[in-house]
């Protein structure tokens, strides 16, 4: 190739199952093409529509080019400043707040999953280097399910996704891989070609449900009730694995006693299902039929989300579908990525991981801004997040942000959150920086190298952290212990451990520049039946859960329908062409042609006097939105499905915790799918 041309390797760092390996094609310093990397054993050279449109993202005309300062928060009056001016302004404010409160607790970091690259953890490393600060912690995404996995299995891991091909029955429980995990669909089709049955259990007749052999439309939030019914039914029908139960589980007798008290008819009524649905699934979970359940994240974003998943785990344990080829529960897997995490561990003298920060709840951040005292939060650092399109209690959050003395946001675009900031710093894409991006779904790892120079004056989170540390120490020697004189490659060197090298079959991470590598670990989770619970067995009955104030076993609490019969459960689908607020500005969305739409079952529409394509007001105590209403039997009568491509839906969401999440994430998860709304027709 000519010297002006080069091909570089990249990994998509978005919060997604695939962590796609990509190739960037650069001519004369300009990225001209992005393709999939055929050397990656899971993504196999294929990308999703978002991946193929990364060029639009990198060179989007709305992308931020320079540091900017706002004359007055929310005014929209922005002025370009230099990086030196921005860093100097920020550092002087940090020191002034430290002197005022004699600590750095008035500084608050709010960061989540906008970029999964490990070098982006330099932000946590920088804040750890300041002594004790305040940090928004927790997870709006998946913690109830993670805790459920910890209580039952002792850890969260699953089999290689390729094991789907060996299953005789695949249950997509609240998952829609055709939209959200396209690279796994190949395994579903391979399983079908072998004669496997695919069952979808979901309140919405999704694209994946339409490709399934069996579809069961369940009432939102009642998945745990249905799983318990199935577990009870299977056992009573003699469809259970006595050897697995006897030798590899703890507490089954207690679970069985609880199961005896369950009223199948009452639970099925709760789910909006009949015994025919139970019989249908039981037929496909007969002995010697290998069953895999793929649990989506949505069903644990529920008031009793953790219990829902524990009930599914119990069903799989009773039937012995754990630790075997083509069997198991698929939810999340980070168990094998043993990086050193050195980049986060530059603690100031006297501080450790246990006391490096004062935590506030990331899901209840609006109240945290209001209620945190001694000292209060005065300066907010936001990166890898867009609070104003993702957090609950938007009105209270807006009020809290207005009370900050300084808000700094690092982003690629002027998001709604950035518009409420004082200083906005432009950051790089994954085509302009070094990074490592592991997956929570598969075991392949690729390296991310720069293809082009940073866009205008964009800088990575790592470079910004180094600049801050350097300037702070110039102003106040010893203020930060974060190393500012290292190169990105030095930080990568420190992240890889000898064990990780051994599992990848390489001696240095630079070998990944020749292509991704797969960890040499078992393809089948829990194949040795060496669970990581205190008993070393699968635990139907968890003493740890009991000690943490949780029910020791999977249970279901009947809902009080008297207060919500006239309301709808508010749910959203996961966007096919966007990822929360990321990619919403790409041309492939045709966003100008779209308007907010809600889908309602015709039977409920008749009750409410709503006609097809009319406009409705959707409201609750939190706020109200106006959307066009489309009538569809694809959505359960109890639910109102609002398209996720429009983030006005968050105006209706208030903080409601799930039942679990504290072990994996410090705080409970967020019950986004347990929010109730009312509707009324309007003229427009």
Tens of pLDDT along 475-500?
Answer: 999 999 999 999 999 999 999 999 99
User: Roughly how many angstroms between the first and final C-alpha of the chain, as a whole number?
Assistant: 60
Q: What is the pLDDT of residues 438-454, one digit of tens each?
A: 999 999 999 999 999 99
User: Which residues are CB-neighbours of 335 under 8 A, at least 6 positions away?
Assistant: 155, 156, 157
**Rounded to whole angstroms, how far apart are CA atoms 387 and 411?**
12
Please give the pLDDT value at position 581.
Answer: 73
Helices 143-153 & 305-318 angle (0-180, nearest 10): 40
- Point out the least confidently predicted range of 246-260, 347-361, 645-659: 645-659
Q: Is the pLDDT of residue 562 over 50?
A: no
Q: What is the DSSP letter of 474?
A: H
Instruction: Locate 427 and state its tokens.
Output: 């950051």
307 and 147 Cβ atoms separated by less than 8 Å? no
Please give the pLDDT value at position 646.
Answer: 62
Element at 24 (helix H, strand E): strand 21-27
**Rounded to whole angstroms, how far apart are CA atoms 301 and 658?**
7
162 half-sphere exposure, CB direction, 13 A CA radius = 12
Instruction: Locate 93 and state its tokens.
Output: 């404010």
Instruction: Locate 351 and state its tokens.
Output: 């501080």
Q: Is the pLDDT of residue 564 over 90?
A: no
Q: Is the pLDDT of residue 647 over 90?
A: no
User: Which residues are CB-neighbours of 499 under 8 A, at least 6 positions away?
Assistant: 338
Mean pLDDT of 294-306: 95
Classify each residue of 154-176 as buried b or exposed e, where b means 16 or more C-beta atoms within 10 Å of its C-beta. bbbbbbbbebbbbbbbbbbbbbb
Whats the size of the chain, residue-wise?
684
**Rounded to whole angstroms, how far apart are CA atoms 671 and 571?**
11
Which ranges in 170-261 belong to alpha helices (H)?
177-180, 185-193, 207-210, 223-236, 242-248, 252-260
- Confidence grade of residue 593 (pLDDT, cut at 50, 70, 90): low
Please give the pLDDT value at position 574.
Answer: 77
Is the peptide bond preceding residue 375 cis, with omega within 30 degrees of 0? yes
Burial of 592 (0-12, 13-18, 19+ CB in 10 A): exposed
User: Which residues are CB-neighbours of 78 under 8 A, at least 6 positions away?
Assistant: 68, 69, 70, 71, 424
Q: Is the pLDDT of residue 334 over 90?
A: no
CB atoms < 10 A from the CB of 242, how many? 10
- Confidence grade of residue 287 (pLDDT, cut at 50, 70, 90): confident
Q: Is the pLDDT of residue 61 over 80?
A: yes
Instruction: Locate 127 and state its tokens.
Output: 């804040």
Average pLDDT over all residues of the chain = 94
Q: Is the pLDDT of residue 421 over 80?
A: yes
Please give the pLDDT value at position 172.
Answer: 98
CB atoms < 10 A from the CB of 517, how many? 22
Backbone dihedral angles phi then psi of residue 597, each to the nearest 5 degrees: -130, 140
Q: What is the pLDDT of residues 90-120, one digit of tens each?
A: 999 999 999 999 999 999 999 999 899 999 9
Q: What is the pLDDT of residues 657-674, one digit of tens each?
A: 999 999 999 999 999 999
**Rounded to whole angstroms, how far apart are CA atoms 506 and 512?**
8
| Dihedral sign for Cα atoms in the order 217, 218, 223, 226 | negative
- Confidence grade of residue 3 (pLDDT, cut at 50, 70, 90): low
Classify each residue of 184-219 as buried b or exposed e, where b means 16 or more C-beta atoms within 10 Å of its C-beta. bebbbeebbeeebbbbbbbbbbbebbebbebbbbbb
Q: What is the pLDDT of residues 499-537, one digit of tens each?
A: 999 999 999 999 999 999 999 999 999 999 999 999 999
Mean pLDDT of 161-182: 96
Alpha-carbon Rg for the chain, nearest whole angstrom, is: 25
125 and 109 Cβ atoms separated by less than 8 Å? no
Q: Is the pLDDT of residue 274 over 80?
A: yes
Q: Is the pLDDT of residue 222 over 90?
A: yes
304 and 556 Cβ atoms separated by less than 8 Å? yes
- Confidence grade of residue 550 (pLDDT, cut at 50, 70, 90): very high
- What pTM was computed for the model? 0.95
**Rounded to whole angstroms, how far apart are CA atoms 601 and 630?**
9
Q: Greatest CA separation found in the chain? A: 74
Q: Is the pLDDT of residue 579 over 80?
A: no
Q: In what side-by-side order are the strands of the sheet with 357-361?
A: 78-80, 68-70, 423-426, 406-411, 379-383, 107-111, 133-137, 357-361
Q: What percent of the chain has pLDDT over 70?
A: 96
Please give the pLDDT value at position 223.
Answer: 97
Q: Is the pLDDT of residue 324 over 80?
A: yes
Is beta strand 538-539 parallel, antiparallel or unpaired with respect to 249-250? parallel
- Confidence grade of residue 50 (pLDDT, cut at 50, 70, 90): confident
Q: What is the pLDDT of residues 70-93, one digit of tens each?
A: 999 999 999 999 999 999 999 999
Backbone dihedral angles phi then psi of residue 248, each to the nearest 5 degrees: -130, 15
């Amino acid at each position: 190739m000519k010297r002006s041309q080069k091909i570089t390797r990249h990994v998509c760092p978005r919060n997604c199952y695939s962590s796609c390996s990509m190739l960037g094609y650069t001519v004369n310093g300009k990225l001209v093409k992005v393709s999939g990397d055929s050397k990656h054993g899971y993504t196999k050279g294929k990308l999703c529509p978002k991946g193929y449109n990364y060029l639009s993202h990198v060179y989007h005309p709305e992308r931020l080019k320079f540091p900017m300062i706002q004359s007055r928060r929310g005014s929209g009056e922005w002025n370009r400043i230099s990086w030196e001016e921005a860093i100097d302004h920020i550092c002087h404010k940090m020191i002034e707040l430290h002197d005022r409160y004699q600590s750095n607790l008035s500084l608050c970091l709010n960061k989540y999953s906008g970029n999964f690259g490990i070098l982006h953890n330099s932000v946590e490393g920088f804040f750890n280097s300041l002594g004790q600060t305040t940090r928004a912690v927790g997870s709006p995404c998946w913690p109830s399910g993670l805790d459920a996995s910890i209580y039952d299995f002792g850890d969260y891991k699953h089999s290689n996704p390729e094991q789907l091909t060996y299953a005789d029955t695949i249950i997509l429980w609240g998952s829609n891989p055709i939209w959200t995990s396209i690279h796994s669909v190949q395994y579903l089709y391979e399983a079908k070609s072998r004669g496997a049955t695919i069952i979808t259990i979901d309140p919405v007749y999704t694209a994946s449900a339409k490709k399934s052999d069996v579809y069961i439309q369940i009432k939102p939030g009642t998945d745990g009730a249905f799983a318990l019914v199935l577990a009870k039914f299977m056992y009573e029908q003699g469809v259970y694995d006595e050897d697995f139960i006897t030798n590899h589980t703890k507490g089954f007798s207690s679970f069985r006693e609880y199961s005896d008290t369950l009223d199948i008819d009452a639970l099925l009524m709760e789910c909006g299902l009949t015994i025919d649905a139970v019989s249908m699934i039981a037929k496909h979970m007969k002995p010697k039929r290998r069953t895999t359940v793929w649990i989506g994240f949505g069903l644990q974003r529920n008031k009793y989300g953790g219990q829902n998943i524990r009930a599914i785990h119990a069903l799989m344990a009773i039937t012995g579908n754990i630790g075997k080829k083509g069997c198991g529960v698929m939810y999340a897997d980070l168990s094998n990525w043993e990086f050193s995490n050195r980049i986060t561990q530059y603690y100031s003298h006297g501080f450790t991981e246990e006391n490096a920060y004062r935590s506030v709840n990331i899901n209840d951040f609006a109240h945290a801004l209001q209620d945190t005292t001694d000292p209060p939060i005065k300066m907010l650092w936001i990166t890898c997040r867009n609070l104003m399109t993702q957090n609950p209690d938007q009105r209270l959050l807006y009020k809290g942000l207005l009370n900050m003395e300084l808000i700094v946001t690092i982003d690629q675009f002027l998001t709604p959150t950035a518009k409420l900031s004082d200083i906005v710093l432009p950051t790089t894409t994954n085509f302009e920086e070094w990074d490592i991006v592991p997956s929570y779904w598969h075991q392949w790892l690729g390296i991310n190298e720069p293809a082009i120079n940073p866009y205008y004056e964009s800088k990575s989170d790592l470079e910004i952290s180094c600049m801050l540390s350097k300037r702070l120490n110039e102003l106040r020697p010893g203020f930060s212990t974060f190393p500012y004189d290292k190169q990105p490659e030095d930080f990568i060197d420190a992240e890889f451990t000898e064990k990780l090298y051994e599992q990848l079959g390489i001696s240095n991470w630079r070998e990944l520049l020749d292509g991704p590598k797969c960890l040499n670990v078992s393809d089948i989770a829990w194949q040795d039946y060496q669970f990581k619970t205190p008993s070393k067995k699968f635990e139907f009955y968890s003493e740890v859960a009991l000690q943490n104030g949780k029910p020791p076993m999977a249970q279901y609490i009947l809902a009080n329908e008297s207060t919500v019969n006239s309301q709808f459960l508010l749910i959203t689908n996961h966007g096919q062409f966007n990822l929360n607020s990321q990619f919403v500005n790409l041309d492939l969305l045709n966003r100008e042609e779209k308007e907010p739409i809600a889908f309602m079952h015709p039977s409920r529409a008749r009750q409410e006097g709503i006609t097809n394509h009319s406009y409705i007001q959707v409201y609750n105590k939190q706020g109200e939105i106006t959307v066009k209403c489309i009538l569809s039997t694809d959505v359960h009568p109890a639910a109102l499905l609002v398209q996720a491509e429009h983030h006005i839906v968050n105006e209706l969401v208030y903080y409601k915790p799930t039942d679990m999440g504290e072990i994996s994430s410090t705080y409970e998860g967020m019950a986004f799918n347990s929010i109730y709304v009312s509707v009324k027709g309007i003229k427009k």
